[in-house]
Amino acid sequence: MKNVNTLGNGVFSILERLDVLRREILNLEMELAKHGFDPRRGIESYSVSEIKRLLESTGSNYPKVRELLIKLVETQERLYKELYSFAGLKELNVDTEIPEKNVAKIKEWLLAEKAPARNNSTKFKHAIEEVAKVLQRCHANCGSRVLEVLVRIYKRDYDRYRVIKHVIEACIELGGLEESPQLETSPIESAVTLIDECVKKLERSRLALNLKFKGVKP
């Protein structure tokens, strides 16, 4: 028969590990909250389609947010394993509709998902050139006209956000806008209104020229 003190120490050790894992999960959730995720929701409550939509809205932060999500689901799985071990079970049961199964689904999708093409793609350069043309010619509703061009070129909002962010960075660089750190979490229609704000303070030709010479970041 095991010594009572030994049993007590074992339980205390498990509780300590659980506490550490819960803190790690909380820290990761707070980081993800900066990118549009709800800190009040656990990762197990998200569907894969929700994760995909939120990831696509993170713009250039896509790889970083994907890595945070992978760390979160792996830490969540470690927590489940500790809880199962504490309950005297050998392995996770992912055959029934339980949070563990959903976390496993999310992890599988994240590991299979590839980050979208980076900003040095030919299509991205073409989009920047087309946006520069619009800015040189437009007299009103420049933001809406830019969005029309991007809808024609790209199928996904993720790619449109990348171009808009590039334009906004040029605006900020020229002093036409202050920084907008949560650009990617705004509806795309709201994001393009920042372009209208920018052209009110800057000459459109100056902004278009800056876009051309600013280059496309890798």
Instruction: Tell me the C-alpha distance between 183 and 71, whole Å.
Output: 24
Assess contact for 134 and 199: CB atoms under 8 A.
no
What are the tens digits of pLDDT across the range 45-58?
999 888 988 888 88
- Is-above-0.85 flag for pTM? no
Q: What is the mean pLDDT of the chain?
A: 78
Residue the block writes with tokens 């087309």: 130
Instruction: Tell me the C-alpha distance between 183 and 186, whole Å.
Output: 6
Q: Is residue 4 pLDDT above 50, yes or no?
A: no
Instruction: Tell me the C-alpha distance between 178 and 198, whole Å.
Output: 9
Mean pLDDT of 124-151: 86
Point out the least confidently predicted range of 25-29, 100-104, 154-158, 178-182.
178-182
DSSP, res 203? -
In the chain, where are the structural domains located?
Answer: 4-112, 122-214
Q: Which long-range contacts (CB under 8 A, 24 or more apart) does 33-40 make?
A: 35/61, 35/65, 35/68, 35/184, 35/185, 36/184, 36/185
Assess contact for 177 and 138: CB atoms under 8 A.
no
Q: Which long-range contacts (CB under 8 A, 24 or more apart) does 13-18 make?
A: 14/82, 14/85, 14/86, 17/82, 18/79, 18/82, 18/83, 18/86
Angle between helices 157-174 and 122-137 (to 10 degrees): 60
Percent of the chain as helix, strand, coil, to the nearest 5: 70, 0, 30
What are the tens digits of pLDDT across the range 169-212?
888 877 877 765 555 556 777 777 888 888 777 777 777 777 76
Instruction: Tell me the C-alpha distance between 77 and 131, whole Å.
Output: 45
What are the tens digits of pLDDT across the range 49-90?
889 888 888 877 888 899 999 999 999 988 888 887 766 655
